[in-house]
Amino acid sequence: MTGHNAPEPAPSLPEVLSGLVATLPETHLAAWINVLHTVPTPDGRTESRLIAAHPGFGLGPRAGLLLSAWRSTDPQPPGCALALALEAAANRYEQDLATHHVEIAVSGPVSDAVPIRLTASVAIQVIRAASTTLLVTSYAAFGIQEIVSEIRAAADRGVSVDLVLETARASGGRLQGESDGRTAFHELRFHPDVHLWQWANHERYGPGGRRGSMHAKVIAADRSTALLGSANLTDNAYSDNLEIGAVIRDSTAVASIVDHFINLMHSADGPLVRLPWQPAS
């Protein structure tokens, strides 16, 4: 039967494995490879073991897709063969990425049109690439514990981290409510290499008298790699919303982005000022 109502064929096992390499963060992929090395054939516990190996965003549907494709493959390969295939595909994928200057990242629904990676996976990859400096900016920030942990790990290895966040209206910002991104990053408040910044309230008025918002969303590692996109640093933006972004691997372009924010922070009359970790009472 053909036509508009014909069901889409289920993806083959090679297609599913390629998709996992392109969308799963490296840590999740490594955890799944370790599990597959111990699973001769898919059984009733395999899916839950994969999800529990390294919890994260939206893993259930991907684990289910892998198990479905694995069970329908004839002859059925052992788990160690799937693990080896994932390792080989991941190695090739990273080699291909190194030759690209721009990579697309998405949240929410994915399509089969082009190979793309999930925003959470790309954000983690960019943060881990930082060796000296890390710039992170966002309008909203809450949840995203995995991102917070990665930023802490970067700071612990000596990376100087600048967080530029919008604040709640009570603190002079544009966010509704009483809380803002300081809550999400509260566990980093005593780290000497993590610095918090805000757009000063008195600097926000434009020629028309309207107040601006700190709306930029950037994660920049050193001066060489940056993720730009629509996604805020929130669980919804990274897993539920339809968002899109781009990773730029061009030292000239990324250095310009970083220098722009450095100038806003450190010039004598710059609009970005240090933000206290506790809102004023």
Give residue 174's identity as a one-letter amino acid code.
Answer: R
The model scores a pTM over 0.75: no
Beta strands in the chain (DSSP E): 102-107, 117-118, 133-138, 141-142, 160-165, 194-199, 218-221, 225-229, 233-234, 243-248, 272-274
Write down the pLDDT at residue 280.
Answer: 62
Q: What pLDDT digit, counting tens, does each position of 108-126 carry? A: 887 665 667 789 889 999 9
Rounded Cα gap, residues 248 and 253, in angstroms: 8
Query: What would the pLDDT profile of 3-49 be if each residue is shown by its tens digit?
Result: 556 666 888 999 999 888 877 878 888 999 999 999 999 999 999 99
